[in-house]
Amino acid sequence: MNPYKMVIACTNQKGGCSKTTTAVNLAASFAVCARPTLIVGLDGQANATSAFGAVPADAGHVYHALLGRCEMKDALLTTELSHLHLLPS
């Protein structure tokens, strides 16, 4: 059974409109409410990744998973919030 039952995407073609800030705060809020939460960083600047203080392994981030060099589950990182996982960019 997949614990991630809802998908929320923060999108806009314009840069600097708080997409990452919104996504990070939503993810943290859900996790604090004990909802299993996964945030996927797709930003080339890795702002969502750095917002959680995460440092991805050399071969373990979303880019490598999308290229098939690793499994996405192997690239997941834990955060300080017990219900929040991160697929880093």
pLDDT digits (tens, 9 = 90+) for 66-88: 999 989 898 999 999 999 999 99
Q: 9 by DSSP, 3-state: which?
A: coil
* 65/59 Cα distance (integer angstroms): 9
- Average pLDDT for the chain: 88
Task: Look up residue 53 and give its two tokens.
Answer: 């203080």
| Predicted TM-score (pTM) above 0.85 | no
* 84/16 Cα distance (integer angstroms): 25
Q: What is the per-residue DSSP string for 31-85?
A: HHTT--EEEE---TT-HHHHHTT---BTTBSHHHHHTTSS-HHHH-EE-SSTTEE
pLDDT digits (tens, 9 = 90+) for 45-59: 889 999 988 876 665
* 85/40 Cα distance (integer angstroms): 9
